[in-house]
Amino acid sequence: MTGGAGARTGALAAARLLAALAAGALFGFGLSLSGMVDPTRVRGFLDVTGDWDPTLAFVLAGAVGAALPGYRLVLRRRRPLLAERFDLPTSRRIDGRLIGGSALFGVGWGLAGFCPGPAVTALSFAGMPALLFVLAMLAGMMLHDRTALGRLGTSRESASRGEATGRPGRT
C-alpha cells in the first residue's frame, strides 16, 4: 500500500513538472505572439507623453481578461488538481518594500524595455543583449536574496508569513 502511495506521489510530481513546462511554454508563446518580447514596443507603450503605442494595453487586457474569470473558477475548488493546496501570497501590506521595489523595477523596465518574462523568453533568439540583461537581472535577484542588502525589512515579511494559507479571503 505504501508502494502504491509512493508511485502515486511520483506520478503526481512528474505531472506537476509537465504542467509547469506546458504553462511556461504557453506563457512564452503568448509573449512572443503579443509583441511583449520587443523592448522597443514596450518602451513605445510606456512613452505616453510622446509617440504612444497602445498595443501592449491589449496584452494586459487579454491576460487579465482570461485570468480573472479563470482564477475565480479555479479558486472555487478546494485544492488544485495536482497538488495538496493552493500556494497563494498572504501578505496584504502595502509598504515601502512593495512600493520601493516596484519603483526600482519600473525604472529598469523603462530603461531597457525588458521585464523578467519577456527577457527570459528572448534568451532563445535575441543574442547577447538579452543574455546580458538576464545575467544582470539574476545578479540583482541574488543581491537581494543572498546579501544584507536584501535583508532590510525581511523580518517584517517573515512575520506576515505566519498568516494562514489556503483559500484566499476574496474569490
Partner 1 sequence: MESYLPALAGGLMIGLAVTLLLLLNGRIAGVSGLVAGVLRRPAGPWPVNAAFVAGLLAGAPLFLLAAGHWPAVRIEASSGLLVAAGLLVGYGTRLGSGCTSGHGVAGLARLSPRSLAAVLTFLAAGVATVALQHLVAP
Note whether 143 binds partner 1 by CB under 8 A.
yes
Binding status of residue 10 toward partner 1 by CB under 8 A: no
118 residue type, one letter: P
- The alpha carbon of 81 is separated from its chain's Cα centroid by a whole number of angstroms, namely 21
Residue with cell 503605442: 53
Tell which one of 29, 159, 161, 163 touches partner 1 (CB under 8 A): 29
From 6, 8, 9, 18, residue interacting with partner 1 (rule: CB under 8 A)? 18
Q: Which is nearer to partner 1, 11 or 105 (CB)?
A: 105
Contact between 45 and 57 (Cβ < 8 Å): yes
Out of 10, 105, 159, 163, point to the residue binding partner 1 (CB under 8 A).
105
Instruction: Name which of 1 and 73 has its Cβ closer to partner 1.
Output: 73
Cα distance between residue 163 and residue 21, in whole Å: 30
Other C-beta atoms closer than 10 Å to the C-beta of 109 total 19
* Footprint on residues 38-97 left by partner 1 (CB under 8 A): 38-41, 43, 46-50, 54-56, 58-68, 70-71, 74-75, 77, 79-89, 91-94, 97
- Work out the widest C-alpha separation in the chain, in whole angstroms: 67
